[in-house]
Structure 1
């Protein structure tokens, strides 16, 4: 067996960032990646001559963001596309009421004001909630106290459900009452005009990454760590596990001895959401030029409810919509053609015959991917924000965990993956790693 300092399992953003920092410090590092590519849940399709980000798409808030500073240092081009936390207003949106009729400016403003009013009350309701309360419990209490008309309450209830789906990939009754406490964005958001997976690819350049190496067992002993794959056994002083939470929850990696409750508990309590994307390209645009978002409220938006205009990436009229939570799992069982037909039907209920047949489409199925088993983590009922950070370990000072699910400040983001990889590297090295210097060093390798 090779004489290694650290084995990193997984070549997503957390894995390559951690491995790069350790390698830059002179450590002997191997990355074992089950896929045949780098990037993990950052996946860009370029088969049509332009990028389509099938996994992560955004940096959610660039103010005071080390991830944004890394992107700037690497001179990776981006485009401002700020939609904020799933919101009622704040950006140009085309709103349609429950009957599929477009709302005028006054009606849209009133809708936004009503949601903001209930959201302000919701903050206090959440603060007064009890352990075991779900996000549905607290939203229902806020809605009951709102004094709004029943029809508007129904629309806001639907809005809250979709917000949980888009932010967490989960059903509203499965999310803890505090599950969206960290749901805040500072500054603009950006998307990537060349594709987001350029970022982990740049970091990974020059690392010893063994692709198509599926890890089946991780053993720790006084003599060190061993990691088993079908290609053989690897040994090192320390191991960093960066696989998605869904893989950990499925138990497909055996840990010997078993993980202590300090880590196994968070794995069991946290949830893994499903959030799938459907991109549709059209022969011509049928929605307003100045609308970031098309949003259907109430019954009209029960299934497909929000479409984001991402035409600027390809120069072709393109809408992005999402299927998340239980609906996302349902859609995974449909064919692409069935899914596209259902989305087009929903759009025609709003825009009629102006919606022509799409010329291209992309449909993701992250919940069916055996190497992710979901899209990103969320705070399930009974879990807490502390569970995210507790999941990072370390165990016996030698087994570390990283990835978006291990970063409590902003889980379910690429930033969380990056920062958690940084934390693991610092713990192994026993000293700080300056992120500004790291960014400069990555940029210098090109």
Structure 2
């Protein structure tokens, strides 16, 4: 089966010059040499006729991220002739494996763990290798650097770190009140509604903290939120805490330690090889019209395709750009236009030599351009850092000099050799990073998300229970949608 590598250009978003977008976003993906060379080429699945009468396919899946790829694989294995339509010229959605300065890196979703049941079952199914972060020439030990009151404090002893860890524990102290069962929001729904309008920053403001503790908690919370603290629901950060077991160690291990040794694309390729759906890349969808006994999907090029069922795996921020007939739930469209709180930046920084020999985390107030930084990899002559910040417009993150100036607040002698990031908020097929809901969204929108309508089924990774917004949540959502289609089609 053809392998879906990711090393060619993707389309520039409307309203942004192609040169400007490519400068910010870097090259996006495509298919391995000799595979899908043409812009609208397709990979045929097995020679299989649709089981339903009078349609081209039993199932058409919209979106080639982990939700869509899972739904397409499972639909094929359920015996349905399945077509996967992806607007980009690569699969993976908001995951993207690429090369950066000799390292295989992830520009989007990265980390996995055995507390994430859906993705870990895939690791076991396909016997995929995982590795730890950071890798390379990292010596034992760890330190935390905190920018506070114009100076950098280096914390590397237990008695120095304990007050910071205690403050973070205190920040999440009420998580169990809302998420006793983090896969079942309805279980504590009355408590969730009480806290629905509380934003992630308000909780910090109410805490009695030292300056160092305040910086650390704000930076950590903003890293999880991946957007301004006042724009993300505190319920979302507390959900992250509850899911792996309500401890700092568990959250770190689940969300920042283990990743695919050969990239997220290694799982995408295994799923495609296993299910063998027909795939059409560079094929945006214009409309989805249910006709009662079938659904008509019209591509941007004007081609009409018919199916007994459609599974929608598109990100919530772009699904309203597709015309649905009957119309999309108005509140689902409204939420997409408002956009979720994931508006930040993930930046990779190559630094000359070793500015530290051990694993390091560095935090600053969310207004700092590099507010949450950690060691990603260490080689003989350089170090790779990964940074999560709430605002991609703090500085020009393509400017090595600007990044170096900010980095020297932590490491005064640092020399930046290369930087890279993917502009997900400008990507026309994402319009955001990982999904965190905004204050007030549970009461206003929650019951409207992921509601099937006739023969149109919604399996988006941005919605649902548990690890939604993660690779795990996307796999779970896609698989559940495929199962509901099986129930409907028989």
TM class by smaller structure: 0.7 to 0.9
Aligned to 2:6: none
Q: Is residue 2:322 matched to residue 1:322?
A: no
1:68 aligned residue (108, 116, 120): 120
Q: CA deviation at 1:131?
A: 4.5
TM alignment of 1:66-215, pairs within 5 A: 66-81=118-133, 92-98=142-148, 99-103=151-155, 105=157, 106-120=159-173, 129-141=194-206, 143=207, 146=208, 148=209, 152=210, 154-184=211-241, 185-186=244-245, 188-189=253-254, 190-205=258-273, 206-215=276-285
Aligned to 1:401: 458
TM alignment of 1:333-352, pairs within 5 A: 334=396, 336-337=398-399, 340-352=400-412
Aligned residue pairs total 402
Q: Is residue 2:279 matched to residue 1:221?
A: no
Output the CA distance in 1 between the equivalents of 2:444 and 2:120.
Answer: 25
Q: CA deviation at 1:207?
A: 1.8
Report which of the two has the higher share of helix.
Answer: 1
Aligned to 2:375: 309
Output the CA distance in 1 between the equivalents of 2:215 and 2:240.
Answer: 18
Q: Contact conserved, 1:266 with 1:388, CA < 8 A, in 2?
A: no
Output the CA distance in 2 between the equivalents of 1:179 and 1:361.
Answer: 30
Q: Contact conserved, 1:270 with 1:387, CA < 8 A, in 2?
A: no
Aligned to 1:356: 415
Q: Deviations over 1:195-229 (max 9, x none)?
A: 11211122123320011111011111213211111
Aligned to 2:75: 22
Secondary structure, aligned partner of 1:63: coil
Output the CA distance in 2 between the equivalents of 1:110 and 1:247.
Answer: 42
2:307 aligned residue (236, 242, 249): 236
1:11 aligned residue (41, 64, 68): 64
Instruction: Evaluate the alpha carbon distance shift between residue 366 and residue 118 of structure 1 in structure 2; reply closer, same or farther with a 3 A threshold.
Output: closer
Q: Contact conserved, 2:222 with 2:229, CA < 8 A, in 1?
A: yes
Q: Deviations over 1:302-356 (max 9, x none)?
A: 33132221215999521111222xx22445xx3612xx32332232222222x12
Q: CA deviation at 1:260?
A: 3.0
Q: Contact conserved, 2:167 with 2:217, CA < 8 A, in 1?
A: no
Q: CA deviation at 1:271?
A: 1.5
Instruction: Evaluate the alpha carbon distance shift between residue 173 and residue 48 of structure 1 in structure 2; reply closer, same or farther with a 3 A threshold.
Output: closer
Q: Deviations over 1:122-163 (max 9, x none)?
A: 87799695553333333323x1xx3x4xxx1x5444444433
Instruction: Calculate the TM-score normalised by the size of structure 2.
Output: 0.74
TM alignment of 1:23-62, pairs within 5 A: 23-46=76-99, 49-59=102-112, 61-62=113-114
Aligned to 1:258: 327
Q: Contact conserved, 1:392 with 1:401, CA < 8 A, in 2?
A: yes
Output the CA distance in 2 between the equivalents of 1:349 and 1:330.
Answer: 15
Output the CA distance in 1 between the equivalents of 2:380 and 2:308.
Answer: 46
Aligned to 1:417: 474
Instruction: Evaluate the alpha carbon distance shift between residue 25 and residue 296 of structure 1 in structure 2; reply closer, same or farther with a 3 A threshold.
Output: closer
Instruction: Calculate the TM-score normalised by the size of structure 1.
Output: 0.80
Q: Which runs of 5+ in 1 are unaligned?
A: 83-90, 432-446
Q: Contact conserved, 1:389 with 1:406, CA < 8 A, in 2?
A: no
Instruction: Evaluate the alpha carbon distance shift between residue 198 and residue 12 of structure 1 in structure 2; reply closer, same or farther with a 3 A threshold.
Output: same
Secondary structure, aligned partner of 1:219: strand
RMSD over aligned Cα atoms: 3.2
Aligned to 2:138: none
